Amino acid sequence: MLNSKRVISIIPVRGGSKGIPRKNLLILEGETLLDRAIKQSLSCKMIDATYVSTDSQEMFEISKKYNANTKNIRPKELASDKASTIDVVLHVLKEMNESDVIVILLQVTTPFRSMDDFHKVFELYSKDACNSVASVSLLSSTHPDKVQVINNGYLQSYLSKSSHTPRQSLPNVYSLNGAFYIAHESVIREEYGFISSKTKPYLMPYERSVNLDTQEDLMLMNCLISNGLV
């Protein structure tokens, strides 16, 4: 419970993955990413119910082991590459008869979130005047002002910015890392998402923000683990 409201977590996972096959079932530190995310959610005392939304029978069976399953496997129309995560969230709310609840969305491919992160995200959401909270990390790679596109064979600034501005003079920019999104279900419906003009950022360090999308990300994750950085 949080602010006298029931809190539910939703963990969306699909069976298909183009970048890394079966990436949601990848083994990290002896357990799958899905098992890891479910255990994290169940370990948080503020979360009243955990729901895994999946189109995979294998992942559905995993969620049942933890009593974190929805009533049924996700419908096919919500399992395609074009399916919206928000439509999946709304489907879970309807299927599980959840209303007037706070929803926290957990992405399994950002596995290094800590329990301290959970507590701080909930604290930020409950104490600040905001509609929602989303976790971010400082973008330390190429700054958007320096990103280029190729137009008719020539380089052109993507944002119509000078590429010669020293990086030290550019403002800090942040990227959503997928570890946490939290909002009341009424906000999700009204905004059709977790992000609004009153979304507070929860800043996480780079090493806990790594998101598994490519083989290079997997190598980085294993490197962070082997060096004791996460």
Confidence (pTM): 0.91
First to last CA, the chain: 28
Q: Which CATH architecture has domain 6-136+174-219?
A: Alpha-Beta Complex (3.90)
Cβ neighbourhood burial of 113 (10 Å; 0-12, 13-18, 19+): buried
pLDDT in tens, the chain (230 residues): 998 999 999 999 998 777 788 899 999 889 999 999 999 999 999 999 999 999 999 999 999 999 999 999 999 899 887 889 999 999 999 999 999 999 999 999 999 999 999 999 999 999 878 999 999 999 877 888 889 999 999 999 999 888 888 888 888 999 999 999 999 999 999 999 999 999 999 999 999 999 998 888 989 999 999 988 88
How far apart are alpha carbons 88 and 128 in whole angstroms? 27
Q: Domain locations in the chain?
A: 6-136+174-219
